[in-house]
Amino acid sequence: MIQQTIKHHIEKLIKNSIFGSATFDTVKAKFKIKHTPLGKDLPYKNSTGKTIENIHNALGYNLSVRSTKDGKFLTITGSYIKWLTGQNIIGTTNLIELCLMVFERVCERYSLTPTEDEISAVKRGKFKLMRLDYAIHCDAGSEEKALFLQQQIKKHWSFKYPNYSQYRHLQTLYISQRHRRQIFKTYLKGIEVGEKGDFIDVAFARELMHISKRLVRMELTWKSSYLGENKLASEPHISYRWAKAWKDDLAHTLMKKTTRKLLGGLVGVKPEFLKHGEKLSNHDRLAVAAHGAGLPVESLMSDKRSFKRLRDKILQNVGIDIALPPGQHLVGPDFVVARELLDKRIKYRSSHELFLVMVAHLDAVDPDETSAVEALVG
């Protein structure tokens, strides 16, 4: 039955001209459960926790599990999505159900028996979060356009944000990489998947490897201090630290607000075919990069005649008018516009049913994992 379900979803996946996926990913959550503490005592006088235990899945992804010394709380940290499915492109925005699945499986692995009240508390979102990651994907349409979009984001951020950093030139770009409250990053998903090459036993492996090459992944991490400081506007007594705060569209709203702030001024216009781009000097290319980053190049140059010569040269060679305000280019099919990719090719889809199919598939690969969802997809 699972194989038939997978075949049905593969056909549906391929039919979508624009792939879209929004999902929670890495979670650090603290659950209340009375149990015999796991691990060993730490050699610190004031330590309240035990040593960390690691649980691996069939593909080598692990969760770290830590008990408090008094055996009242269990903290589970890691990519819940990868641990359950072997990948993190397709996941779920149902945070409470995601955490419940992980909590129940960890309890079963360690022969812990939560009470009905303890299970009920998890189902109602009455457990605390110390970290939460949420991701969306921009399907640029091709590997080349994904690279172009990432290049434009790099230019935009390097001109505008002093807290910008990068890893491996273009692979991963960060805003506030070492911030103690929240981090935003974008990266080329296809490169990550290609380097790890660990989709062998993952459902939809071939389709996801193909799709991943077109994707720019955007990921927002909320850390403990941020979660504790912020509260729901509608219910100010509930902070973001409580899982029940994320029942509705809070993650979606915060991600949209962040992308609008950090990527709102990005334009990035590029002709598909650069016939005379080699005639531009480094100075000319810097002007094109500044314009693509959303900066008003004309106002940065005091000599208007020099600006006119520069404008004419760039327009003639690459077809970009640096005098136009950002977003005002009249472009045709011969141009790629980063702004249009961001506006039209990000879909906030959450395929919870598809996620459950992928969980059940990995369960079949890993006989040590008990399937909590097979009945839902069979």
**Residue 276: band (very low, low, confident or very high) from pLDDT cuts 50, 70, 90:** low
In the numeric block, the tokens 């996620």 are attached to: 355
In the numeric block, the tokens 């889809």 are attached to: 349
Mean per-residue pLDDT of the chain: 85
pLDDT at 378: 29
pLDDT at 270: 66
- pLDDT top residue among 74 and 269: 74
- pLDDT top residue among 42 and 97: 97
Structure confidence by residue, pLDDT tens digits, 339-363: 888 988 998 888 888 999 999 989 8
Q: Where are the alpha helices (DSSP H) in 127-202?
A: 143-160, 189-196
What is the arithmetic mean of pLDDT over 254-282?
Answer: 77
What is the arithmetic mean of pLDDT over 153-159?
Answer: 87
> Under 8 Å CB-to-CB from 73, ≥6 apart: which residues?
30, 31, 32, 33, 67
**CA-derived radius of gyration, the chain:** 24
What is the arithmetic mean of pLDDT over 141-162?
Answer: 89
**Residue 331: band (very low, low, confident or very high) from pLDDT cuts 50, 70, 90:** very low
Q: Contact at 8 Å (CB) between 340 and 326? A: no
DSSP 214-228: TEEEEEEEEEHHHHH
Position 95: which residue type? L
Q: Contact at 8 Å (CB) between 78 and 61? A: yes
Q: Contact at 8 Å (CB) between 102 and 63? A: yes
Q: How far apart are CA 240 and CA 97, in angstroms?
A: 17
User: Which bin fits 371, alpha (ψ -120 to 50), beta or left (φ > 0)?
Assistant: beta
Phi, psi at 102, each rounded to 5°: -70, -45
- The side-by-side arrangement of strands in the sheet containing 23-32 is 53-56, 62-67, 73-79, 23-32, 128-139, 215-223, 182-188, 172-175, 164-167
pLDDT at 278: 64
**Residue 289: band (very low, low, confident or very high) from pLDDT cuts 50, 70, 90:** confident
Q: How far apart are CA 230 and CA 26, in angstroms?
A: 20
What predicted TM-score, i.e. pTM, was given to this entire model?
Answer: 0.83
Structure confidence by residue, pLDDT tens digits, 87-105: 999 999 999 999 999 999 9
3-state SS assignment for residue 95: helix
pLDDT at 371: 39
Q: Which residues of 332-371 are buried (b: 16+ CB within 10 A; e: fewer)?
A: eeebbbbbebbeebbeebbbbebbbbbbbbbbeeeeebeb
**Residue 318: band (very low, low, confident or very high) from pLDDT cuts 50, 70, 90:** confident
Q: How far apart are CA 85 and CA 204, in angstroms?
A: 11
Residue 333 has pLDDT above 80, yes or no: no
Residue 139 has pLDDT above 90, yes or no: yes
Q: What does the block give as tokens for 135?
A: 């991701």
Helices (H) and strands (E) in the chain, counts: 15, 11
Q: How far apart are CA 355 and CA 336, in angstroms?
A: 33
What is the arithmetic mean of pLDDT over 147-169?
Answer: 88
